[in-house]
């Protein structure tokens, strides 16, 4: 079901970031990610965030972060925070192997629930 409200600029947004990361780097990265996520938790407009870990070490995307924000503007303001930017940059530089994040903001276009 497509909803009109999901497409308005004032509506909540979903931020999704899928990470390509070596399996042996996961635990250290998740620990640091949690510290960065705590910075976001206190920002205006933050709703929630969850980090998902692949069950298989063969999965291309080992980690998937899904966060919800009250608006695109709230997300943009939060991610513009210099401390957050600095910590994010440092996290990419601290690993032995490259980490490839794939971030984007999404709108819900179809929603299904159990009957």
The burial of 12, by beta-carbon neighbours within 10 Å (0-12 exposed, 13-18 middle, 19 or more buried), is given as middle
pLDDT bracket for residue 10 (50, 70, 90): low
Taking residues 42-67, what's their average pLDDT?
Answer: 95
- Predicted TM-score of the model (pTM): 0.80
Mean pLDDT calculated for residue range 101-107: 91
Write the pLDDT tens digit of every residue in 75-103: 999 989 888 878 777 776 776 777 888 99
Nearest to 103 by CA among 114, 92, 112: 92
Mean pLDDT computed over 19-26: 89
């Amino acid at each position: 079901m497509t909803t009109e409200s999901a497409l308005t600029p004032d509506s909540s947004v979903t931020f999704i970031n899928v990470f390509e990361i070596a399996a042996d780097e996961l635990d250290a990265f998740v620990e640091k990610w949690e510290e960065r996520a705590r910075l976001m938790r206190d920002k205006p407009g933050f709703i929630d965030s969850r980090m998902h870990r692949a069950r298989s070490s063969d999965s291309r995307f080992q980690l998937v972060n899904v966060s919800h924000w009250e608006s695109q503007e709230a997300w943009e303001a939060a991610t513009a925070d210099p401390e957050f930017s600095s910590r994010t940059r440092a996290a990419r530089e601290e690993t032995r192997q490259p980490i490839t994040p794939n971030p984007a903001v999404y709108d819900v276009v179809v929603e299904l629930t159990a009957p």
